[in-house]
Amino acid sequence: MKRRVAILISGRGSNMAALIKAAALEDYPAKIALVISNRADAAGLEKAATGGIATVLVESRPFGKDRAAFEAELQRVLDQHGIELICLAGFMRLFTAGFVQRWHGRMLNIHPSLLPSFPGLDPHGQALRAGVKISGATVHFVIPETDAGPILMQGAVAVSDHDTEETLAERVLEVEHRIYPDALRLLAEGGVRLEDGVCKTATGAGSGNFLISPLAG
């Protein structure tokens, strides 16, 4: 039985589209059952509807600073659709500790840096100012602290001396589109466990190839 997934968005839904595309495969262990946005102008809502995915608007603005009331309505919608797993994809809203604990081990987020480096806003600018030679993206479980949950999967790209925030973001986005569906697959298949705040996976190490930047000689 495929796990029922909700994707939460606030904008264009780029990673949402990658997840929907992956889940269309017959052997994918999850079904994108619902896309929820907290913004009526989120372009991803139309993309999801065009792809035949149910969409719901739960606007956050009317709730003001009352996050608990917003989350109660959000939870009602999730329950109504029988959602088992949540993927955040550009969802620009912080959750209370209570909501996060309710979805502990079942809610993923993706961040465009190799966490724990460069959390929060402007990760590409942070990376370039630090002069790193490798950057990338991280899929992690959501905990009350921002961008600090157990890391499920990471993908890396080389950073060029000529990179701008825009060019780096473009390459990292390609990595995001690859690793988010793979991470959700692992979780939906039951190939993930959390031990003392660390994520362990049944698949073990990756390809065994190194990504080294810059190359010498």
Residues 6+ apart with CB under 8 A from 93: 10, 38, 60, 70
Point out the catalytic residue in the list 81, 104, 111, 140: 111
Q: Which residue has the tokens 């035949």?
A: 52
- Distance (Å, whole) CA 116 – CA 187: 21
Instruction: Give strand ranges (E) for the chain.
Output: 3-9, 30-37, 55-57, 85-88, 107-111, 134-141, 151-158, 192-195, 198-201
| C-alpha 125 chain-centroid distance | 20
- Distance (Å, whole) CA 106 – CA 87: 9
- Distance (Å, whole) CA 123 – CA 113: 6
CA angle 173, 39, 32 (to 5 degrees): 60
* DSSP character string of 133-167: SEEEEEEEE--SSTT-SPEEEEEEEE--TT--HHH
Catalytic annotation present for 111: yes
What residues act catalytically? 111
